[in-house]
Amino acid sequence: MRLTWKDALATVAAGANVAIYVAFTQGADVPIIDSDRGPSTPVCRRCG
């Protein structure tokens, strides 16, 4: 079984989620993650 483009996309998405979480916990001054709901926005756009 080989890796597909979907696997690569999932890996990039997971990496982006980790980067957003780390930036939030470190107190980065980034407009999208200023509030507590900010980090969840890129992860789940339909939730908000």
pLDDT in tens, 2-35: 999 999 988 988 888 888 888 878 877 776 666 6
* 12 inside domain: yes
- Give the integer Cα–Cα distance in Å for 41 and 33: 9
* 22 inside domain: yes
- Domain extent, residue 26, equals 5-43
Residue 41: partners with Cβ closer than 8 Å, 6 or more residues away: 32, 48
37 pLDDT higher than 70: no
Q: How many domains does the chain have?
A: 1
The residue with tokens 């900010």 is: 38
* 48 inside domain: no
